[in-house]
Amino acid sequence: MARVDVERPEKLKNRELGELCEAAAGAIDDGAGFGWINAPERDVFERYWRGVMMVPERALFIGRLDGVVAGSVQLVSLPVQKEAWRHGCQIDTHFVAPWARGHGLARALMEAAEVEARDKGFRVINLSVRKTQDVAIKLYESLGFARWGTNPTYAMIKGEMVPGHFYVKDLEG
- 126 forms beta bridges with 90, 168
Neighbours of 53 (CB within 10 A): 14
Pick the binder of ligand COA from 59, 96, 113, 155 (CB under 6 A).
Answer: 96
**Closest to ligand COA by CB, 12 or 129:** 129
Q: CB 13 → ligand COA: shortest distance, Å?
A: 22
Binding flag, residue 112, ligand COA (CB under 6 A): no
Amino acid at 22: E
88 lines the binding site for ligand COA (CB under 6 A)? no
**Closest C-alpha to 105, from 2, 4, 1, 3:** 4
Position among 12, 19, 94, 112 found at the interface with ligand COA (CB under 6 A): 94
Q: Which of 107, 123, 157, 171 binds ligand COA (CB under 6 A)?
A: 107
DSSP character string of 61-124: EEEEETTEEEEEEEEE---GGGGGGTTEEEEEEEEE-GGGTTSSHHHHHHHHHHHHHHHTT-SE
Distance CA 110, CA 129 (A): 14
Piece of 12-20, 42-50, 130-138, 162-170 that binds ligand COA (CB under 6 A):
130-138
- Contact call for residue 23 and ligand COA (CB under 6 A): no
Q: Choose, by CB under 6 A, the member of 102, 121, 149, 163 that binds ligand COA.
A: 102
